[in-house]
Chain A
Amino acid sequence: MDFERRLNVRKDGTAGSGVSRRNLLTAGAAAGSGLLLGFYLPQAIGAEAAEAATADVFAPKAFVRIDRDDRVTLIMPQVEMGQGTYTSMPMLIAEELEVPLDQVSLVAAPPDDRLYTNPLIGFQATGGSKSVRAMWEPLRRAGAVARVMLISAAAQGWNVDPTSCRAEKGEVIHGPTGRKLRYGALADTAATLPVPDNVALKDAKAFKLIGTPAKRLDTPDKVNGKALFGIDVKIPGMKIATVAACPVFGGKLARVDDSTAIEIKGVRQVVRLADAVAVVADHMWAAIQGLAALDIEWDEGPNANVSSADIVRQMDIASQNPGIVGRRDGDVAKAMTGAAKRVEAVYQVPFLAHAAMEPMNCTVHIQKDGCEVWVGSQVVSRAQATAAEVIGLPLERVQVHNYLLGGGFGRRLEVDYVTQAVRIAKQVDGPVKMVWTREEDIQHDIYRPYYFDRMAAGLDEQAMPIAWSHRVTGSSIEARWLPSALKDGLDTDAVEGAAEELQYAIPNILVDYVRHEPPGILTGWWRGVGPTHNIFMVESFIDELAAEARKDPVEYRRALLGKSPRAKGVLDLAAEKAGWGQTLRQGHGRGVSVQYAFGSYLSQVAEIVVSKEGEVRVSRVVCAVDCGIIVNPDTVKAQIEGGIVFGLSAALFDEVTIKDGRAEQSNFNDYRVLRINEMPAIEVYLVPSTEAPGGIGEPGTVGVAPALTNAIFAATGKRIRKLPIKDQLRSA
């Protein structure tokens, strides 16, 4: 999901065309009082960007408000799902505005693509590890401009030169006399002043907040049950619904007998949809009981016989023909012919569910002339649009209230559950909260695609690679979710991490992509997206080459990273901190991975032990991170730690398998998640940097699987080429 290239937006988050700084900010009086600052989130997409910017020049895009009581309010387009945006975004503005962090409060932005577009994605979305990257520049600039205007207002009042004044802790101070005025007292005057041009941003060395471990602002309410997630919504008169969609993907409802269900105390209504049945009740228990009591006949449709084995067989066949080129350097075919040795391997990763802790849910109230939706969503404007479409209302009649997300991981970038809840609500009188059971959540997830990748390398006499080919075969998420992101049919996400981002200096490289859609199965974004599978393939295969060369895996990689000092830097740091090279006991092993993805460089070293029975235990993971300038180091570490756990669960246990057209897994008993007793010690080391900030929500997940499987190879000599690991070592 690396949209930057496609959207012609520079890495610092500013528009790559035609928008002058001066036009990026507007100011005026706030509705009640105080200073209201609107700033443009630069619109994307090449020529359209310039056009959009000129057309909209006087309409502010996002808001910062400074009230008479000194409160700074930021209208937040990014949602909080555990990644700490509700803290990092205020830090950016507070840094330049010179206010203490606790003086900034947040209001969640309403849905509006025109106002709150994420410039790196192209509409109002939180995902792809892009929040800090998108807002890094505009938020600091807004803070700086507001500060300059407040200083000017004070200087005018005192009749002194603005350069003799400075801003500090929410006040403007006149240096020579020590006179002070709070921002609140200056906001009204500041609102009448012109917006200054060319305000300089602080040098990184002068940062006071950015780079310090700020306390999270959203957590105090999360220790006492007060924090409200979508599932906690309470509306007077609200009913609870739970739902069963046809277990076979793409199937329909044929007939349902609800005579027993409707007798259950608390059950109010049974709602029939084209592909699902919902039971509406006074509480979830009655809804669950009601659902179980239904006698449902499904029309299973054309996918009733689909199985994982068939899907993989078809992918294998599809992968034998060339695909759309994602990267071509030199002439791979020729170099392969001249190679001293050829190595080939097939790698596979499974369909995966997200299994966010908070099951999918959405509350809807449809009234005569409008609709209200309460939901935790990463794409608020899409939630609004689907509701409007299902009911046939204009957008502005649909009000969406966004709540905290009990985990996103890409699942809440979809609005299938919103669409379904609105369809149910259309048949219900009054507000209804639809809550999926965990079983529904796993069986009707929109899965991470299955990927079937063919790797090949040609080696020279020293067993160093002179040719590298990587063919990715899998479904296209972009084609369904953001077709404008496709580049001549190339799903740029499917090859991300494997193509342009490949850091190894190899003279001949060919990366291509074969699109293959499994029948009936929807696939979507999953934490780490494209790089999660590509880095597994690349870092496993490079390890195979190192083994082929009988060279140390770290040394082998180093020799190929001459042109990538940052990648080499994290590799060296991780190796050093992990004690790479120190001997381990029998059955123990260390494995390494290096990656460049989401604008950040990471290297991980996993240390594992395999028991005689073939059980793998991960004892330690060392991760070195170079993600450019760090806004909140503690949050970076937390995100890396969590990302590693997410990746380990998947690598060790997880897959969704298909039989008779339906998912075979259903709950945490058969879709395993790492538990505290299986937790390795994780050490995260951050590389100080002044480069533009990279993403941190996803990279941790990406590189842990290959570090783990490479460690298994080191310990046992067995190469894992298919995830999950599950009991693959038990038969050995």
Chain B
Amino acid sequence: MVTLQINGNEHHLDIPEDMPLLWVLRDVVGLTGTKFGCGIAQCGACTVHIDGRPIRSCVIPAAGLADRAITTIEAIGETPSGRKIQQAWLEVEVIQCGYCQPGQIMSAAALLASNPNPSDADIDAAMSGNICRCGTYQRIRAAIKQATQAA
């Protein structure tokens, strides 16, 4: 049994030691907003926050995360930076198919929370782990900049 704090709720789960957080979220807890894209930390679709920092949930075993604060896309709108990013994403019309976007938004929200005024180089560094096959990068950059302007 492991106890996880997910989006402020406590979950007592009977899961294998080595089971990555991604599959715990999707297939056990039922939070499917976090996406599977590669399983090897190459695409960023599975990004969640652990104590506010962006982590690829496909390669991190959940069992080691007891008592850490796990935040997923379903709750990121409750944080100030998450809300600003979501808003900017809609204003700039970033999204196409949308499948990579939970991961993009989680990476961007973490960036904004730690760096209220990121440069292009900061954006590259924070976002280059997130692939978008629909090619929305230009708008992602624009939306992050727009979010920094939001009150």
Contacts and interface: CB of A to CB of B under 8 A. Distances in A.
A642 B134 contact: yes
Contacts of B11: none
Contact of A356 (B102, B124, B133): B133
B31 interface: yes
B100 A223 contact: no
Nearest to B43: A668
Contact of B97 (A228, A282, A357, A668): A357
B27 A406 contact: no
Interface residues of B, number: 56
A708 B18 CA distance: 45
Interface string B16-53: 10011001001110111111111110110100000000
Given A219-B90, A641-B135, A673-B131, A357 B102 contact: no
13 contacts: A82-B95, A83-B96, A222-B95, A223-B77, A224-B73, A225-B102, A227-B98, A231-B32, A285-B23, A288-B39, A407-B97, A438-B38, A676-B137
Contact of A404 (B27, B42, B97): B97
B38 to A, nearest CB: 5
Interface string A649-683: 00000000000000000011100011111010110
B86 A357 contact: no
Contacts of A225: 31-34, 72-74, 102
A286 B90 contact: no
A103 B35 CA distance: 31
Nearest to B144: A676
Contacts of A638: 93, 96, 136, 139
Nearest to A632: B93
Q: Among B23, B34, B73, which residue has the most Cβ atoms of chain A within 10 A? A: B23
A216 interface: yes
Contacts of B43: 357, 668
Interface of A: 81-84, 215-216, 218-220, 222-229, 231-232, 234, 240, 265-266, 282-286, 288-289, 355-359, 404-409, 435, 437-438, 634, 638-639, 641-646, 667-669, 673-677, 679, 681-682
A229 B86 contact: no
Contact of A406 (B40, B73, B97, B141): B97
B134 A677 contact: no
Interface string B76-100: 1100000000100110010111111
Contact of B30 (A215, A223, A234, A437): A234
Contact of B27 (A220, A283, A437, A677): A283
Contacts of B138: 641, 679, 681-682
Nearest to B131: A673
B72 A216 contact: no
A638 B138 CA distance: 10
Residue from B28, B30, B95 having most chain A Cβ neighbours under 10 A: B95
Contacts of A222: 95, 98, 101
A643 B137 contact: no
A357 B131 contact: yes
B30 to A, nearest CB: 6
A285 B27 CA distance: 9
B132 A357 contact: yes
A109 B36 CA distance: 27
A283 B28 contact: yes
